């Protein structure tokens, strides 16, 4: 479809057998994150988990904001300096300010973005609100990150995999345990895109503010459906194996090409980087 230049917009209706279950009685990452960002699209269980995490690591709200700012700078870089026009953004979250397609299409209106998440609340918002410019396209896929084949097949309806694609994994890989083989998941996504494509990711760190982050992870794992595994610098660096890291390399997200001193000085315990597939 992408090759026909059809403005594929919106998202397919979930089929009945595969309809996402609305269960707001258990905390979900997208809604917890929404609470940290000061949003109001969260439910009692999400607020409780978010508050628990904040008690362990009070800077988590600023950290979440710093991660959003990182996303904005990364997309700006990829569109304006790396010439990227296609994005596969996995772990969309509830739409907030500066969503990927808004940042990309503000610079290059023809940009095509496929969003992926597995939360029905995200689905309700994304398919209604993440709408494209007429020149470009957006689509939304309801899928789990572990199901890379399904994600890639769905994304192929909107993205042209013969052209470079930026794969975005912002603060999402911590929801894969080591048994889920997150390095393998990232590698299988990268295998589907051509040379000149990019991988951009951020990952909560276990080796920054280590004690607080450990306490936060324990609390989140008690209260959330998706468990978290925070990782250290060397483990996160593994995701970039075989790729060419863009300056300044893999680094704390607030130090990745900050626009202002305020951004650079924000507390944030996440590793992040952008790398090109050679």
Partner 1 sequence: MPSRLGEGLLGLPAMPRLFAAGGALAVFQPDRRELTGLAGRYGVLACHAGAEVSLVHQPADGVSTADMDPRALAPVESAGGPTVIRILLGSQLRRLREAAGITPDEAGYEIRASRSKISRVEHGRVSFKERDVADLLTLYGVTDEQQRRHMLSLAQQANSRGWWARYDDVMPDWFATYVGLEQATTLIRTYELQFVPGLFQTEDYARAVTVLGHRSAPADEIARRVLLRLKRQEILTVSDPPRVWAVIDESALRRPLGGNEVMRAQLRRLIELADLPHVTLQVMPFNRGGHSAAGGSFSILRFGEPDLPDIVYIEQLTGALYLDKADEVDNYREVMNRLSAEADTPVDSARELRKIIGAL
Q: Is 120 in the site for partner 1 (CB under 8 A)?
A: yes
Selected binder of partner 1 within 6, 26, 55, 128 (CB under 8 A) = 128
C-beta closer to partner 1: residue 126 or 168: 126
Selected binder of partner 1 within 5, 14, 109, 184 (CB under 8 A) = 14
- Report, in Å, the least distance between residue 184 CB and partner 1: 31
Q: Is 123 in the site for partner 1 (CB under 8 A)?
A: yes
Among 39-47, 173-181, 192-200, 220-228, the segment contacting partner 1 (CB under 8 A): 39-47
Q: Are the C-beta atoms of 148 and 121 separated by less than 8 Å?
A: no
Q: Is 6 in the site for partner 1 (CB under 8 A)?
A: no
Q: Which of residues 48-87 bind partner 1 (CB under 8 A)?
A: 62
- Report, in Å, the least distance between residue 31 CB and partner 1: 11
- Report, in Å, the least distance between residue 114 CB and partner 1: 15
Selected binder of partner 1 within 1, 20, 147, 157 (CB under 8 A) = 20
Q: Is 36 in the site for partner 1 (CB under 8 A)?
A: no
Tokens (6 digits) for 215: 């306490």
Q: Is 107 in the site for partner 1 (CB under 8 A)?
A: no
* Residues in contact with 16: Cβ distance below 8 Å, sequence separation at least 6, in sequence order: none
Q: How many residues bind partner 1 (CB under 8 A)?
A: 24
C-beta closer to partner 1: residue 20 or 196: 20
Among 125-133, 173-181, 204-212, 267-275, the segment contacting partner 1 (CB under 8 A): 125-133
Give the 3-state DSSP-derived string for the chain, with helices as H, strands as E and coil as C. CHHHCCCCCCCCCCCHHHCCCCCCCCECHHHHHHHHCCCCCCCHHHHHHHHHHHHHCCCHHHHHHHHHHHHHHHHHHHHHCCCCCEEEEECCCCCCCCCHHHHHHHHCCCCEEEEEECCHHHHHHHHHHCCCCCCCEEEEEECCCCCHHHHHHHHCCCCCCCCCCEEEEECCHHHCCHHHCHHHHHHHHHHCCCCCCEEEEEEEECCCCHHHHHHHHHHHHHHECCCCCCECHHHHHHHHCCCEECCCCCEEHHHCCCCCHHHHHCCCCEEEEEEECC
C-beta closer to partner 1: residue 24 or 188: 24
- Report, in Å, the least distance between residue 186 CB and partner 1: 29
Among 11-19, 79-87, 218-226, 246-254, the segment contacting partner 1 (CB under 8 A): 11-19
Residue 70: exposure state from Cβ atoms within 10 A (0-12, 13-18, ≥19): buried
Instruction: Name the site residues for partner 1 (rule: CB under 8 A).
Output: 9-11, 13-14, 20, 22, 24, 38, 40-41, 43-44, 62, 120-121, 123-125, 127-129, 131, 262
């Amino acid at each position: 479809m992408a090759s026909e230049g059809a403005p594929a917009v919106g998202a397919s209706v979930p089929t009945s057998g595969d309809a996402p279950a609305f269960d707001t009685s258990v905390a979900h990452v997208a809604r917890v994150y929404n609470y940290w960002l000061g949003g109001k699209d969260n439910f009692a269980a999400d607020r409780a988990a978010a508050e628990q995490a904040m008690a362990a690591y009070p800077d988590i709200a600023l950290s979440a904001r710093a991660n959003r700012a990182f996303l904005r700078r990364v997309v700006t870089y990829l569109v304006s300096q790396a010439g990227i026009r296609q994005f596969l953004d996995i772990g969309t979250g509830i739409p907030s300010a500066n969503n990927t397609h808004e940042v990309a299409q503000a610079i290059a209106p023809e940009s095509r973005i496929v969003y992926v998440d597995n939360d029905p609340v995200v689905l309700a918002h994304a398919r209604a609100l993440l709408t494209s410019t007429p020149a470009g396209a957006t689509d939304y896929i309801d899928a789990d990150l572990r199901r890379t084949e399904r994600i890639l097949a769905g994304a192929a309806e909107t993205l042209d995999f013969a052209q470079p694609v930026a794969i975005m994994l912002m603060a999402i890989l911590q929801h894969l345990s080591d048994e889920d083989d997150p390095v393998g998941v990232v590698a299988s996504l990268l295998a589907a895109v051509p040379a000149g494509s990019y991988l951009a990711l951020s990952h909560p760190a276990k080796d920054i503010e280590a004690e607080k982050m450990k306490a936060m992870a324990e609390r989140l794992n008690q209260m959330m459906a998706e468990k978290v595994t925070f990782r250290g610098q060397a483990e996160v660096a593994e995701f970039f194996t075989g790729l060419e890291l863009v300056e300044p390399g893999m680094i704390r997200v607030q130090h990745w090409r900050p626009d202002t001193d305020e951004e650079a000085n924000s507390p944030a315990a996440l590793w992040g980087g952008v790398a090109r597939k050679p």
